Structure 1
Amino acid sequence: MDYLISTVEKVSGYAFELIRRQASYLIFYKRNFDTLETNVEGLKNERERILHLIDEERRNGKLIERDVENWLEKVNEVIERANKLQNDPRRANVRCFTNLILRHKLSRNATKIDKDVQAQEKGKFDRVGYRPPLDDDIAATSSSTEDCENYETRKSLKNDIVKALGDLSSCNIGVYGLGGVGKTTLVEELIKLIANQHKLFHKVVITHVSKNPDIKTIQGEIADLLGLQFNEETILGRAHRLRQRIKMEKSILVILDDIWTVLDLKKVGIPFGNEHNGCKLLMTCRNQDVLLQMDVPKDFTFKIELMSENETWSLFQLEVGDVIKDRNLKDTAYQIAQKCEGLPLMVVTVARAMRNKRDVQSWEYALTKLQSNDDNNEMKGVTSALELSYESLESDEMRDLFLLFALLLGNDAKYFLQLAKGLGMLKHSNTMADARNKLYTIIKSLEATCLLEVKTGGKIQMHDFVRDFATSKARRDKHVFIRKQSNDDWATKDFLKKCTQMVVDTIPTDMFPQTFDCPNIKFFCLTCLNRSLEVPDNFFERMGSLTVLDLTSLNFSSLPISFWFLTNLQTLCLDFCILENMDAIEGLKNLQILRIRKSSMIKLPSAIGKLTQLRMLDLSDSGIEVFPSNILSSLTKLEELYMGNTSINWEDVNSMVNNEKVSIVELQKLPNLTSLELQIRETCMLPRNLRLMFEKLKHFKIAIGDVWEWADIKDETLKTLMLKLDTNIHLQYEIKALIKGVENLYLDDVDGIQNLLYNLSADGFPLLKHLLVQNNANMKHIVNSKERN
């Protein structure tokens, strides 16, 4: 009986609880929906916070953790369900107790969804994003000798090297051969082979050592591929950290490309010997003896032989193109190919030089040129091949630019444009835009002839032999003086009087001359790592012919008085300099290009306003804050103005006070301006007739608002606009006209705009390539297809 009573009580309790819960859905209908709305709003805020973090991580090149993406998917799904229920049109019919069944159903669904909302904990993650490893498959980049790697002599060698890498007894492996024989290309092919087929190592990293190795650069290249960021400043500290990181890899191949002399592995931070059995080294070198000194066993050194006659002829035909089909040329062409000594670099260089030559005389001359070196070694043959390629260039402009590139490798096209324009190498170019187009065309042509390569970021590089040939020719034929090492001798007085160009990297303070007697010099470039070095006041007195002057990393309390003698100067570069008194710049009456990038200078000197012939002014990444008024408007010939990543205090156009600061309105007085890069932190600095100033621009990168970092602009498009529209400025006709032709559009805080592109421009954005939108909670559509086609 007690058991029966107990059972009845339990059943009654369950029934009562069930009835109470079902009744609560009817009674607390409004409260359930209010609770759901509050909790959903909280979850939306949390989602927005995580989305901001995701956006920030992605802009820093990071990938998003999977658990974060999973959380977002669940949150989006539950918020969508909540919104659908809250917007259910049937809710209008249950405000009173007229439809109890529907009221009960909706209230119960609200409670159920609310539980799911609460089940999504706050987005507390250890981290939102992670930095992916760099793409270490460098073999994906094109190589001038890549096609020859498919030949049997190379295939068998690659297989032998892969076997050696898999040998448990091997630790160091070496590849050697003549310069231009294809060592680097072979290594790049090996990386592909290891990654795609053999999978011998968990990680492969590569660094280019070169003739004059820079330990920090080598450490940095390896660290980048390992995702390691150094906090240590010293080489010793970085070496210790790098060694620790390499040891963390179970198996790793470190490739040291282009070793010239013995490299101190301990100083770099590369484990060797028994220090880490999972680490193997693969080294390329021109000299087997150097490999042996680097503890590479002789059995594990592999020589890249020259190509066979058949392989040489096959590669030559591939590179020279259709012209080889002419029967009148074929015999001569075959002889020329064999004079290339089986060196892939030489074959490609000569073949590309002859690609458009269709007359017999040109081919016979080329053969004669190569035959003149029959009694010399292979390296002399390479020189003759390069000489032939050099002579085959279409114009003196191309030849002069080729030599200029060799003197200052590692710089980008923008820098070379400034030099070439000042040196008069880009003839018949009336505007900076014309000069730029001409320069880019020449770079493409030189790249096609295998005389240079354009690397990531637009940096111009050359093969060692090409560079050595070019610098040797510049010294001999153009009277160019180059001093790259502190122990290099100075030029003789006789040579200085003939000297046309001078590139000096290091000068000890006690050796710095008071003046140079260089009456014919056109270009002087000095890069100094010693901030205590002072340029004497009279230094430029006898350099009156200078048209281009580049002074990098110098400390000027005041510019040398002898600047007043440089009346022919066209281009002046003062990068990374500490600049104070610049009054002497006023003497450069014919200056057309002024570049002051990454220099320390708070106030722009008023003397620049006197440089009325300026066509390009580059103040990018400088510390300038004060830009006096009426300087900009006086530079009426200015075509290009670059002030990216420079925090200038612009005048508020709405201010009634007569301010001494520069105003954006001054840009209206520059009728020739076609390129503009600048940052404006506040929209109040913008005038209403903005359209009139910007509609003639062919190239611009403009950031408006306090949320943008200049480094955010990754793409090299012609027209980039970054806007924080925290006022109704987006409704103004001027802004709409400005953004109509953009290719790269960044938008922040476009409050009130729901259909983004249609509201901004009903005509659309035909040139738009990239769009970034952030902090726009009210936006519903990128494009609403119901409103437009």
Structure 2
Amino acid sequence: MAQNGILTPIATLVVNELWEPIKKHIGYCLKPKTNVKNLAKAADELRNSIHTIEETIQLGEREGKRPKVQVTKWTESAQSIEAEACSISNKYQARTIHIFRCSWSCWSNYKISKSAAKVKADIEDINKRSLQKDDILSLLPPVGLELPLPANIVGQEHYRNKVFGCIEEGPTDIIGICGMGGSGKTTLLKQINNYYSSERPVFDHVMFIEVGKQLNLMAVQQSIASGLGLLLTNDGDATHRARAIFNFLKEKKFLLLIDDLWEMLDLVKVGIPHGSKKCCLQNSQTVVITTRSLDVCGRMQIFENVIQLKCLNSDHSWQLFKEVVGERKTEDARIRGCAKKIAAKCGGLPLAIKITGQAMASKVASEEWEYSLMLVEDSVFHEVSGSDNELFPILKISYDSLQSDVIRMCFLLFAGTTAQHPDDDWDSIGLIHIWMGHGLLGEDDDIERTYLIGYSIIEILKRSFLLESSGRGEKRVKMHHVVQDLALWIVATKQNGMRKEKWLVDQREHTQPDVWSTADRIFLYGDDIKTIPSSCSCPDLLTLMIANSEHISEFPAGFFSAMKSLNYLDLSGIQIQEIPSEIGALTSLQFLTLSRTPIQSLPEELGQLEDLRYLQLQSTFRLRNIPNGLLARLKMLRRLDLYRCHDLTIDYSARYIEELKSLTRLRDISFTVQDSDSMWKICNLPRAFVSGLCIRALEGLQSLQISPLLLASSKARYMKALSLEHINLLEDIVIGQTDIDPGWCLPRLETLLLYSLVALQRVEFKGIEPNTCLSGLRRISISHCHKLISITWITWLPCLESVYLGDCDSIVELVGKDEEAVLSATRSFPRLKSMALPNLKNLHSICDGRITFPSLMRLLVYGCPMLMKLPQNLVGAESSPLIFGERKWWESLEWEDASSQSSLLPFFREVPAGFRGSQPEVFRALRA
């Protein structure tokens, strides 16, 4: 009995601890089919549960719900177990089968059976953790939140549709919307937000965030997370936040709208899935940014989809102004005229129109409107609109964002220079000369580097929408009215962040001595300037510009003596015939321009200006004498411009060239020559390059070859303007030579003038093609060349913008039919913006066939009685030209079909009575 008592616990121990495990493992070997069958049954049940939950989720998403986090985790686990079960079943079926469909591999049976039992237990466990239907879903946040929009939105439909097209059909995942401050970028972005948030909810998420001037990565991430309903911790670093955002969005369709971006935003650091090409809207992950700087688009590699918002046209401007002011008020005949002019002065800038309209909305008396118009016309815009409190601080952010004080000062000086004529555009080179004259571009020994710095600043200002292209040429720029008023407001309110200065740009004050006496810079421009103070003391005056006035023909005695600090003096385009000798007292003067004045000589005292660096005398047609030794005394001179100084004789030219050789700092010269010896010497002047060359009245010259024999490659590449005038025997102009160096060309030549070459028959190119040699030529003027037959070569010039062809009796057609066959595959005039054809009495045809004018804006035809047809492709895809001519000529034109005439009729402008086709008249008409 005692032994039985001892054996019972031992037997129990053996059975429980040893036999049961052995039995279980033996069971794995003996029952693989049963275990796999049980697993398959459990897996089917699990699969049904998964499908039920997925259907519930799909139905819920239609109702604006989404699965809870624990449901997503359960589904992921269940799918993993179900896949494992399927794998075990497949392995069981794939065993090596022998007699009676049994496998003799005990070890294989054992492993499969054991795995099946384990996975079945996992299925039972996960089924216990499955959720009830009510616990599966939670309400989704809306796709995006609608944002309030201004009541008056005008002129944005085109841009809105363009953005929609880029989002839904474009190949890239990032779009840039650019424009100056107040142009409507934010309003456009909000419209996009509202459209895709409610009207067309094709995205899973639409997020709108505003960045602003100070970019804060954490704030951007938190704004995005907030729009997604995603919780981020503030204590984590940017990388952790980015990972959370990325993991949430990587499989989602989303539209991210980023407003007011001032610098590059690294989307990867934010956590935005980015960089892949989208194939359709169904898998779209798109980012849209707004910015005032094209630089931001470039740095974010937005190249294809950049949409630039331009100012409203006149019709849209007037429509918006009426809506803001009130339609009934603008219907008043006493107010309507003033209202239209005030609206126009806003320059199509929506924000300026709205602020001005709101300021004028309460004014009911016509006298108030007339006074407001006077203020606007006198460049006192902010006194009308109250813009110094609302508009200007917004626009000033663009000014503050410029990279340096130098660029900011360049911006302000351009505004001051053009203040009296804001509608005028400027050639870039003239603007650069202003900045050079003020010492803003440095004094690098390589003056070409100085020019390149100037061009770079112009592009920076354009990309910041503080300057804009004028439309008359790539290198002509202007400033928007409101931006100009912003600049003057910055100076007037001492907010430029630099030395506080007082500027005089107001015509109403230009005769007041007390205003002059306290001014730092004075800018007076145009025929409105009729008088100047008879006497005044200007001890602080640094800049004085009195330009383009026919009424200023002399200066009072002692006028310049009281301007000891003056370092910039611009007297161009006035009627002064003699420079007062007291100019020698301006010992600080560094820049002096007397261009386009009727002066006949320079005073001896000019040689006392030992600090003078820039002397511009271009187109001083009556200048005959520069005192002996005067130029040699100007030791600091860097640039001398004597281009088109017609009355300088051969003897004087030779003497001047010898004096210039002694000026070791001279780097840039424009000159006029009348003999071959002077032409060769000036082209080979040491240290300096020739940026402008006028060859005139050169006796005995029958053929002129412009080649390395005259201009070495190192000199040729700097030439910017070339003029050939009054060379009576010249028959041929040959550019290049037979064995020419392939690197020789005139890449920077922008202006070519051929005038009164009465024997000229042809312009030829040897060893080089026109499009290679003259790749940068923009302006051509050919007149009074009566034997010239063809100028077909101009169609090869890729950058040509302006053509003037007048008084050439032998010209029958601009592009001959034989040459046209060769050119038919080319886009002959890709950039041509204006063409003037006055007094071509034998001109029969401009061109026929397939030559196009895609950029033409102005065409003037006068005194061409044989020209009965206009080119078929005159109306280009990118612009519709204005056509100036006589009414009689227009009505006598022959047309291929009625539609051609009707399509061009709205663009015809009759030349004014008394028009004779002179060059000044033509240029005035083309600027109309």
What TM-score range do you get, normalising by the shorter chain? 0.3 to 0.5
> TM-score scaled by structure 1?
0.45
Which has more radius of gyration? 2
Between structures 1 and 2, the one with greater helix share: 1
